[in-house]
């Protein structure tokens, strides 16, 4: 039945591809075009060539944002994956084995649902929630308790060297649940006999984790890393709602999307904002390509 295969395939693909091109590819192409203009959002844009990109080079806020993405790119995946792996291991294979079947710790099913809660909440709600948690006076969740004990309140979002880490903590808190579920699914597909064999050879739980679970989970880890890396290039909603003075204090928590937003919708510099968008696009692309390339290795068949 090779005959007529292509018309059939094309017939099916036409609608989604047309939609994708119109609403995803075309706006991207337009962003490239706009980034070469001084468009202010109203009348016809004027062509300015690479002017906007030259401006990027000495824009302090832009470089600050890029730097923060560097920090996020290291911290967010590392912390999230470490915590998620630990929880997933406990929930799936951390408990006793019964009848040759590895079990999670007591109450694993309950925890699995609880860990997923943050994922269900809208990002904006999480940001508003953490405004309450971080609030720097007696009505804050953390500082309220501290002040009851007569301690000085911690100015989470206000201290320049603490602010970014306070934001990262929220991002991690929000992401962990999803990766616990992702890793749990990965672990569930690892055959029980392998664990059994390893245990018979006298492997401890730590050895089990590093020698069995981790290598067999490599593909899933790789996916998690790419996802989290991309999340690290975003972080807009949390920063916009949660941070002081829109990415402050003094740009201490700003990210590229925040600067794009500011340039486009506060300063009406759509051309310049598009140039930042294009820069972000290439950063994300480079990161994803690099990660997929570097983490490529023989996957274990079982």
Partner 1 sequence: MSITPEHPAALDRRTVLRRAAAVGMLATPAIGLLGACATSGSDGDNEQVAGGTKSEKNPLGVKEDAAIEVVIFNGGYGEKYATDVHEPLYKTAFPKAEVKHQATQAVSTVLQPRFASGNPPEFVNNSGEKLMDFGALVADGQLQDLTELWDAPSVDDPTKKVRDTVVPGTIEAGSFNGKPFVLYYVSTVFGIWYSGKLFKDNGWAPAKSWDDFIALLTAIKAKGITPYGYAGANAAYYQWNVILTQAAKIGGTDVLKNIDNLEDGAWKQDAVKQAAAAWAEVGAKFSDKSFEGLKHTDVQLRQNQYKLALYPSGDWLEGEQKQDTPAGFDYQLMPVPSLTASDKLPATALRATAGEGYFVSAKSKNPKGGLEYMRQMLSKAGAKGFTEVVKAPTVVTAGSEGFAFPPGVASSQAALKAAGQDVFNLYFDGWYKELDTEARTATNELMFGRINADAFVERIQKRADAIKKDSSVTKFKR
Binding residues for partner 1 restricted to 125-144, rule: CB under 8 A: 134-137
Q: Which helix (H) or strand (E) holds 97?
A: strand 97-98
Q: How far is the CB of 4 from partner 1 (least distance, A)?
A: 17
Instruction: Yes or no: say if 175 and 230 are a contact pair by the CB < 8 Å rule.
Output: no
Examine residue 57 and tell whether it contacts partner 1 (CB under 8 A).
no
Q: How far is the CB of 47 from partner 1 (least distance, A)?
A: 12
Per the document, the length of the chain is 302
Q: How far is the CB of 146 from partner 1 (least distance, A)?
A: 12
- Distance between CA 38 and CA 1 in Å, rounded? 55
- CA-angle at 273, arms to 53 and 122, nearest 5°: 140
- Distance between CA 258 and CA 233 in Å, rounded? 11
Q: Which helix (H) or strand (E) holds 124?
A: helix 123-134
Examine residue 156 and tell whether it contacts partner 1 (CB under 8 A).
yes
- Distance between CA 226 and CA 291 in Å, rounded? 7
Residue of 40, 53, 86, 105 interacting with partner 1 (CB under 8 A): 40
Examine residue 239 and tell whether it contacts partner 1 (CB under 8 A).
no
Residue of 197, 285, 290, 294 interacting with partner 1 (CB under 8 A): 285
| Strand duo 97-98 + 101-102: pairing | antiparallel
18 vs 114 by CB, closer to partner 1: 18
Q: How far is the CB of 117 from partner 1 (least distance, A)?
A: 22
DSSP state for residue 95 in the 8-state scheme? S
Residue of 15, 44, 122, 200 interacting with partner 1 (CB under 8 A): 44
Q: How far is the CB of 281 from partner 1 (least distance, A)?
A: 5
- 108's CB contacts (< 8 A; 6+ apart) are 90, 91, 92, 95
16 vs 202 by CB, closer to partner 1: 16
Instruction: Yes or no: say if 111 and 131 are a contact pair by the CB < 8 Å rule.
Output: no
Examine residue 94 and tell whether it contacts partner 1 (CB under 8 A).
no
Residues numbered 209 to 238 that lie near partner 1 (CB under 8 A) are 219-220, 222-223, 226-227, 230-231, 233-234, 236
Q: Which stretch binds partner 1 (CB under 8 A): 69-77, 88-96, 99-107, 239-247?
A: 239-247
Radius of gyration of the chain (CA): 24
Instruction: Yes or no: say if 222 and 291 are a contact pair by the CB < 8 Å rule.
Output: yes
Residue of 14, 245, 290, 297 interacting with partner 1 (CB under 8 A): 245
114 vs 124 by CB, closer to partner 1: 124
Residues numbered 157 to 216 that lie near partner 1 (CB under 8 A) are 157-158, 160, 185
Count of CB atoms within 10 A of residue 285's CB?
Answer: 10
Taking residues 256 to 275 in sequence order and writing x for each that binds partner 1 by CB under 8 A, - otherwise, the string is: xx--xxx-xxxxxxxxxxx-
């Amino acid at each position: 039945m090779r005959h007529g295969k292509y018309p059939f395939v094309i017939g099916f693909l036409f609608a989604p591809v047309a939609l994708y091109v119109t609403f995803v590819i075309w706006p991207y192409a337009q962003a490239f075009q706009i980034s070469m203009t001084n468009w202010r959002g109203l009348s016809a844009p004027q062509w300015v060539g690479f002017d906007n990109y030259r401006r990027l080079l000495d824009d302090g806020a832009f470089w600050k944002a890029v730097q923060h993405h560097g920090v996020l790119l290291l911290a967010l995946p590392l912390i999230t994956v470490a915590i998620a792996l630990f929880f997933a291991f406990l929930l799936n294979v951390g408990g006793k084995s019964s009848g040759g079947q590895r079990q999670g710790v007591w109450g694993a099913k309950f925890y699995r649902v609880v860990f997923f809660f943050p994922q269900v909440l809208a990002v904006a709600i999480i940001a508003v929630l953490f405004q309450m948690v971080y609030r720097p006076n007696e009505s804050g969740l953390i500082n309220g308790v501290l002040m009851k004990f007569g301690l000085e309140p911690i100015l989470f979002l206000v201290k320049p060297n603490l602010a970014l880490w306070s934001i990262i903590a929220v991002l991690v808190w929000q992401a962990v649940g999803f990766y616990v579920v992702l890793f749990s699914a990965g672990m569930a597909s690892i055959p029980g006999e392998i664990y059994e064999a390893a245990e018979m050879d006298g492997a401890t739980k730590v050895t089990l984790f590093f020698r069995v679970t981790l290598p067999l989970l490599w593909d899933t880890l790789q996916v998690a890393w790419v996802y989290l890396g991309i999340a690290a290039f975003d972080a807009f909603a949390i920063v916009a709602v949660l941070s002081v003075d829109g990415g402050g204090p003094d740009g201490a928590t700003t990210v590229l999307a925040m600067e794009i937003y500011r340039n486009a919708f506060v300063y009406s510099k759509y051309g310049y904002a598009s140039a930042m968008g294009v820069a972000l696009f290439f950063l994300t692309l480079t990161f994803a390509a690099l990660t997929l390339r570097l983490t490529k290795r023989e996957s274990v068949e079982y």
